[in-house]
Amino acid sequence: MSYAKSRLFLGMTTVGTIVLLSTGILSLGIHEQFNSYMLDNIAAQVGFLSLIFIIAFICLFPFDVLGGFVIPKRYSDLDGKFQQWLIPYIKGIAVQFMAYVMIGVVLINLVQYSALLATLGFVGLTAVILQIRNWVISKQLVTNMNQDARFKSAIENAKLWLQIPYEVHTVSRADKGFTGGIIGIGRSSKILIPEKWLSFDTDVLATIIARRAIAISSYSHTTSIVLAFICNATGFLLANLLTQSPIGSLGWLLEFLCWFNIWTFLSLLVLPTFSRMASASVDRNLVALNVPSEVILNSTEMMNALQDNERSRSRIIETIFHPIPSVNRRLARPPIFQVRAWQIARTSLFLSGAGLSLLTRAVHCNVGRPDLWLLLPSD
């Protein structure tokens, strides 16, 4: 089994485990056994939330070990010892644990109002989380004065194809699968390139920068954020409407978590198609700017080699599990129906953390890889 297939199977198993457990709890009415436990004060809320996520994170730990250490160790040139993976992993888990407990307290108190008002509050909470994520990453950027000459040359080359009024920075991460991406929105957006990619040829770097600049200028990136907010807000509202347990009880909390995780899973079946449409649209825009097709394909080859290293895959597998087109399907004939929402699948997945989804770090691209939890792999 190849590295890509191993990661895909692990992701399917991890996500499937969460979804099956959620479905089982709801089907068997297990949550109803906890309806008498009311979360009517902060101490109770923090205590039960902590217990839930301690149990959940312990259950996810074996999958994380496989995804973060065992599989990379077997298929790549990973030289580090187990503790070199474990220490950053524990730090990432600790931060996520504290964040989820705080978010949980906010959500429990939001639902004391009507479902609609709670949903509006959830949207505001999601915006705060996104802004905190962007702020944290911004503090880790390499400043322009420290950028390497090849990178500066790549930026200038990209500007020969189109205007780039956005800041372009490099970011250092140990995980070679880290792809950077875009943070911010509109004119205030920042394009992030992994420091490891400075070894790429100048024209490849220029193409990657131009690709992300197009995603911003065409409003594809903005559209993805807006639709991701709508998707998660819809899931939050439905999860609350579907719960039957007394609001504010431990039973309600468990039931809500199950429904929201199921919603996140269902969205993962649909949204990757829109992400691939957006990637194809950006590629066509590059061609329209007279960027050579071989350079476009070469840039995707270079990025792919550091991720799953899978040039082609079956159409069914790609449709369901991969929001980024395979190299062999790049520059293919455009679909009749198009939604330009760059990275919507993984943007929505990250933002589902505002609803305490466990799937945010359970998919094949980032299970066990804390470097990829804040900024999931992108095109």
Quick one: residue 374, left, alpha or beta (phi over 0 = left, psi -120 to 50 = alpha)? alpha
Whether the per-residue pLDDT at 120 is higher than 70: the answer is yes
Which region among 55-64, 302-311, 327-336 has the lowest average model confidence (pLDDT)? 327-336
Whether the per-residue pLDDT at 17 is higher than 70: the answer is yes
Distance CA 240, CA 232 (A): 12
Parallel, antiparallel, or unpaired for β 141-142 and 167-171? antiparallel
| Mean pLDDT across 325-340 | 68
Which region among 47-61, 151-165, 188-202, 319-333 has the lowest average model confidence (pLDDT)? 319-333
Residue 346 banded pLDDT, cuts 50, 70, 90: very high
**Cross-strand bridge partners of residue 369:** none
- What pLDDT is stored for residue 305 in this prediction? 78
User: pTM higher than 0.85, yes or no?
Assistant: yes
Q: Decide if 115 contacts 237 (C-beta within 8 A).
A: yes
Reduced to 3 DSSP states, what percent helix, strand and coil does the chain have, rounded to the nearest 5? Answer: 70, 5, 25
Residue 326 phi, psi dihedral angles, 5° rounding: -70, 160
Whether the per-residue pLDDT at 76 is higher than 80: the answer is no
| Mean pLDDT across 99-106 | 97
Task: Report CA torsion sign: 253, 258, 262, 267.
Answer: positive
Higher pLDDT, 330 or 318: 318
Joined tokens for residue 302: 């270079």
The tally of CA atoms less than 13 A away on the side-chain side of residue 131 is: 6
Joined tokens for residue 39: 């979360």
Of 50, 62, 55, the C-alpha closest to 21 is 55
Domains of the chain, by residue range, sit at 3-372
Joined tokens for residue 362: 């359970």
- In this structure, what DSSP letter does residue 183 have? E
Count of other CB atoms within 10 angstroms of residue 61: 13
Which region among 57-61, 144-148, 227-231 has the lowest average model confidence (pLDDT)? 144-148
Distance CA 182, CA 240 (A): 32
Whether the per-residue pLDDT at 312 is higher than 80: the answer is no
**Cross-strand bridge partners of residue 142:** 170
- What pLDDT is stored for residue 310 in this prediction? 75
Whether the per-residue pLDDT at 221 is higher than 90: the answer is yes
- In this structure, what DSSP letter does residue 362 have? T
- What pLDDT is stored for residue 314 in this prediction? 76
Distance CA 349, CA 44 (A): 28
Parallel, antiparallel, or unpaired for β 190-194 and 167-171? parallel
- What pLDDT is stored for residue 307 in this prediction? 78
Which region among 33-37, 229-233, 265-269, 339-343 has the lowest average model confidence (pLDDT)? 339-343
Joined tokens for residue 351: 């933002």
| Mean pLDDT across 347-372 | 95
3-state DSSP assignment of residue 167: strand
Whether the per-residue pLDDT at 142 is higher than 60: the answer is yes
Distance CA 149, CA 352 (A): 39
3-state DSSP assignment of residue 191: strand
| Mean pLDDT across 337-361 | 92
- What pLDDT is stored for residue 10 in this prediction? 95
